[in-house]
Amino acid sequence: MDGQLIEKKDCSAAVAAALPEAKSLADAGKLAEAVELLLGVEKQARMGNDVTSLKEVVLATIRLVREKKDWEQMNTTLTQLSKRRSQNKAAISAMVQEAMGPSYLDATPDAESKRKLIVTLRDITDGKIFVETERARLTRTLSHLLEAEGKVAEACDIIQDVHVETYGSLDKQEKLEFILEQIRLTLAKKDFIRTYIIAKKVTKKLLEGEDPALQALKLKFYRLMIEYHSLAEKEAFEIAQHYHSIYNTPVVRAEESEWRAALSACVLFLIIAPHSNQQSDMLHRLVRQEEDQLAQLPVYKEILKTYTTREIIRYPLPQLPDIESHPALTLYGHELAQHWLQQLRTRVIQHNIRVLSAYYKKIRLTRAADLLSLDVSELENNIATLVSEGALYARIDRPANQVSFSPTKIAEETLSDWAADISELLRLVERTTHLINKEQMLHKVV
């Protein structure tokens, strides 16, 4: 009963006497009898509230079974000990920690025996908060075994059921390792929705730190995110941001080959990304902030200069061979690489249309198509895409063979502009009159 003091009975003598006898029985081939003997002493220690003796006899029991390499008996004994009436938490915790050690799991004769032992330990730890850390580690080990057997879906299902972010006993790094393993397996299973949900558990704050081990986990996370956004979403801007995060990691900045690869990949996917305020801002920030590093990557420096200048870009780009051979482009297969190259051409066309809209209020479709080296139908399709995305205003008049980039003003706007122009004109007239009078007065003085 809660709050009731329980008398403690010293069972150390009984334990000391039983251990040699149990050892003799086990050596004589009577392992079951040896276990029964120790279970009797375990009951005395448990009922007598002698935690020290209880832990000693529990550990001695499973060690005896391990020495005889009877793994079926091991599973039975572990289950039996965990289900004893009013079993002490310290005894269960000590038993689980002992049985999940390398001298047990690595000593099993085959993968099946190892898997059964892990399953037994997971059953014992199920629902017990005081061994939640051990359960998480056992689950991860089991998922590795299943993955090695080719059962990726099963491995993924097992590991994603563990919500380590709620475990207070696990440190930050181990939690992060576990979550990254969940992300990796959901990607392997191609369960992209689950990948997205799990990835949201990882915050930028969690990845901050100078510890090399933590930086390695940070790199692993962003590479997994690159895989996700490449295969599931095909979001070039997200990929560019992830490569930029990799580039800004101290261990990467310390290795020239590493930062070169990351920065060039960042630039590559940034120009493939659809135009937006964020994308444009990042382009200009790279030009300003990474000037020294870009000087060592002349191809990508020239690409950035081309995209940040209001001039028509000719396609194919002079740098296209370097782009096509970039490892980041072909990382996930030829088909995806072709998709990115097609997107690159589309972005060049859209850039050129935005340049036209900056210099022309109205232009003939045939003339615009000629300037951009396109046919009229492709030009119309790209203009329509930009308009639907809200990237620019355009109005195509097919009978007149014209496209207008200047929005039609309502009467109120026209009147307001006219009034503003008149006010500016009168201001200029007043200023001019004042200057003339000033000159006349100066001449009179002379």
Taking a C-beta distance cutoff of 8 angstroms, is the pair 57, 17 a contact?
A: no
Helices marked H in 229-363 — which ranges? 236-247, 250-253, 256-272, 277-289, 291-295, 298-307, 320-324, 334-359
pLDDT of the residue at 415: 86
Average pLDDT across the chain, whole number: 93
pLDDT tens, position by position, 231-280: 998 999 999 999 999 999 999 999 999 999 999 999 999 999 999 999 99
Q: What is the 3-state secondary structure (H, E, C) of 216-237?
A: HHHHHHHHHHHHHHHHHHCCHH
274-297 mean pLDDT: 94
User: What percentage of the chain carries pLDDT values higher than 70?
Assistant: 98
pLDDT confidence bin for 3, thresholds 50/70/90 = very low
- This prediction's pTM: 0.85
Residue 5 has pLDDT above 70, yes or no: no
Please compute the mean of the pLDDT values over residues 112-133 and round it to a whole number: 94
**pLDDT surpasses 60 at 2:** no
Q: Is the pLDDT of residue 4 over 70?
A: no
How high is the pLDDT of residue 7?
62
What's the CA gap between 69 and 40, in Å, rounded?
Answer: 22
What is the arithmetic mean of pLDDT over 328-345? 95
pLDDT (mean) for 370-386: 94
Distance CA 159, CA 143 (A): 6
Q: Judge whether residue 1 has pLDDT over 50.
A: no
- The per-residue pLDDT for range 75-97, each reduced to its tens digit, is 999 999 999 988 999 999 999 99
The residue type of 261 is A
Characterize 68-98 residue by residue with b for buried, 16 or more Cβ atoms within 10 angstroms of its Cβ, and e for exposed: eebbebbbebbeebbebeebbeebbbbbbeb
Phi-psi region of 234 (alpha: psi -120 to 50; beta: other; left: phi over 0): left
Look at strands 362-364 and 395-397 and give their pairing. unpaired
| Average pLDDT of the residues in 325-350 | 95
Q: What share of the chain is helix, strand, coil (3-state, %, to 5)?
A: 75, 0, 25
Contacts 24+ apart (CB under 8 A), 261-264: 261/327, 261/328, 263/290, 263/293, 263/294, 263/297, 263/300, 264/297, 264/299, 264/300, 264/326, 264/328
